[in-house]
Amino acid sequence: MQRDRAGRALASFLENVLEILRRGVKLGGFPEPLYKQLSRPERIVIVKIPVRMDDGRLEVFEGYRVQHNSALGPYKGGIRFHPEVTLEDDVALATLMTLKNSLAGLPYGGGKGAVRVNPRELSVRELEELSRGYVRALAPVLGEQVDIPAPDVGTDPQVMAWMVDEYSKVLGRNVPAAFTAKPPVLWGNPVREYATGFGCAVISREAAEKYLGGFRGCSLAIQGFGNTGQWHAYWAAKLGAKVVAVSDTSGAVYDPEGIDVERAIEVKRKTGKVTNYPEGEKLRDPQAPLYVDADIVAPDAIENQITVENVDKVKAKIIVEGANGPTTPEAEKKLYERGVVVIPDILANAGGVVMSYLEWVENLQWYSWGEEETRARLERIMMNNFQRVYERYEELRSRRSDVTFRDAALVISLQRLYEAMKVRGWL
Ligand code: GLU
pLDDT at position 64 over 60: yes
pLDDT at position 108 over 60: yes
pLDDT at position 1 over 60: no
Is CATH 3.40.50.720 the right assignment for the domain spanning 195-348?
yes
Q: What is the pLDDT of residue 114?
A: 98
pLDDT at position 130 over 60: yes
Stretch 110-133: mean pLDDT: 98
Stretch 8-31: mean pLDDT: 92
pLDDT, tens digit, 9 for 90 and up, residues 254-301: 999 999 999 999 999 999 999 999 999 999 999 999 999 999 999 999
Stretch 139-152: mean pLDDT: 98
pLDDT at position 97 over 80: yes
How far apart, in whole angstroms, are the C-alpha atoms of residue 203 and residue 259? Answer: 20
Mutual angle of helices 261-271 and 227-238, in 10-degree steps: 160
Whole-number Cα distances in Å, 94 to 42, 252, 303, 325, 361: 11, 30, 13, 12, 22
Enzyme catalytic residues: 112
Q: What is the pLDDT of residue 194?
A: 97
Percent with pLDDT over 90 in the chain: 97
Residues 6+ apart with CB under 8 A from 386: 202, 203, 206, 207, 347
CA–centroid distance, residue 151 to ligand 1 (Å): 6
Percent with pLDDT over 70 in the chain: 98
pLDDT-based confidence at 216, cuts 50/70/90?
very high
Cβ of residue 76 lying under 6 Å from some atom of ligand 1:
yes
Q: Which atom of ligand 1 is nearest to the CA of 79?
A: 1
pLDDT, tens digit, 9 for 90 and up, residues 296-315: 999 999 999 999 999 999 99
Mean model confidence pLDDT for the chain:
96
Ligand 1 probe mutation, 95, 354, 356, most atoms within 8 A of CB? 356
pLDDT at position 219 over 70: yes
Cβ of residue 95 lying under 6 Å from some atom of ligand 1:
no
Comparing 39 with 2, the larger pLDDT belongs to 39
How far apart, in whole angstroms, are the C-alpha atoms of residue 318 and residue 266? Answer: 28
pLDDT-based confidence at 7, cuts 50/70/90?
low
| Fold matches, 41-176 and 195-348 | yes
pLDDT-based confidence at 151, cuts 50/70/90?
very high
How far apart, in whole angstroms, are the C-alpha atoms of residue 261 and residue 265? Answer: 6
Nearest CA to ligand 1 atom 8: 353
Dihedrals φ, ψ of 101, to 5°? Answer: -65, -35
Q: What share of the chain is helix, strand, coil (3-state, %, to 5)?
A: 50, 20, 35
Question: For residue 396, what is the enclosing H or E element?
Answer: helix 371-397
Q: Which CATH class is domain 41-176?
A: alpha beta
Per-residue b or e along 331-360, where b marks 16 or more CB atoms closer than 10 Å to that residue's CB? bbebbbeeebbbbbbbbbbbbbbbbbbbbb
CA–centroid distance, residue 341 to ligand 1 (Å): 24
Domain boundaries, the chain: 41-176, 195-348
Q: What is the pLDDT of residue 6?
A: 66
**What sign results for the dihedral spanned by CA atoms 15, 20, 24, 26?**
positive
Q: What is the pLDDT of residue 4?
A: 59
pLDDT-based confidence at 11, cuts 50/70/90?
confident
